[in-house]
Amino acid sequence: MHDKVIIVVGATGGIGSALTRKLAPTGAQLILTARDAIRLTTLADDLPGSILTIPCDITDPQQVDTLIKKAVAEFGQIDVLVNAAGAGILKPYNNLEPADLDKMLDVNLKGSFYTTQAAAEEMQKRKSGHICNVIGILGKHSMATAAAYSASKFGVVGFSKCIAEELKRFGIKFTLFYFGGVDSPFWDNVNLKVDRKKMLSPETAANAIFFALSAEPQAVPMEINIQPDSHLFF
């Protein structure tokens, strides 16, 4: 992991912040991005080493382009992209407003697409790279009240697998992560009765991502599915 240039999108979220804390001591060159510049700075100040923070709204392709250009200007390359940003709206289908669907598609689907597309362009030049897209279990399985959210996440799975096919001849790996409920800020504004004590911890999710990034070059963990035993999907 030492000296690898790693972009963590959604770095101030539950999974993103847990991952950055695990990566920072390894000597990786970290670029942390999220919308809130103050929270980014606060996070970076608590980490060892030199951390580059770049505020970015991933729903804006121009801001994503600037993010990637700044990362390359600073470090010369991008070895890893981790898409850990996301938003959640869980409502019965007939209560969903157009704005709800727009938000799910803009943040979860389009945002992940823009960052994947931009980072992959740089990786392709070097014929090397690893893209990690954090999907969530509702990108693989359906659940009542998750129509808009799952639509966005199933979309991320679709484009990830298509782009992976296009890029495998360039040595670029993809890993998709299907985590079950993770006790993160995602649930703060969700109006469902859930027992967060029985959920996965952000550290468990971060450990899985770290494992994928640490795998031997010839080993490609294409999908990692981890769920709490209190709520399993098969």
Catalytic residues: 149
Bridging pattern class, strands 129-134 and 172-179: parallel
Amino acid at 117: Q
Give the H/E segment covering residue 176. strand 172-179
The sign one gets for the Cα dihedral 112, 36, 187, 25 is positive
Bridging pattern class, strands 223-226 and 5-9: unpaired
Helices (runs of H) and strands (runs of E) counted in the chain: 7, 7
CA-wise closest residue to 10 among 130, 151, 121, 132: 132
Residue carrying the six token digits 């990566």: 23
Separation between Cα atoms, residue 204 and residue 61, nearest integer Å: 31
Q: Are 132 and 83 in contact (CB under 8 A)?
A: yes
β-bridge partners, 225: 178
Tokens representing 180 are: 């079950």
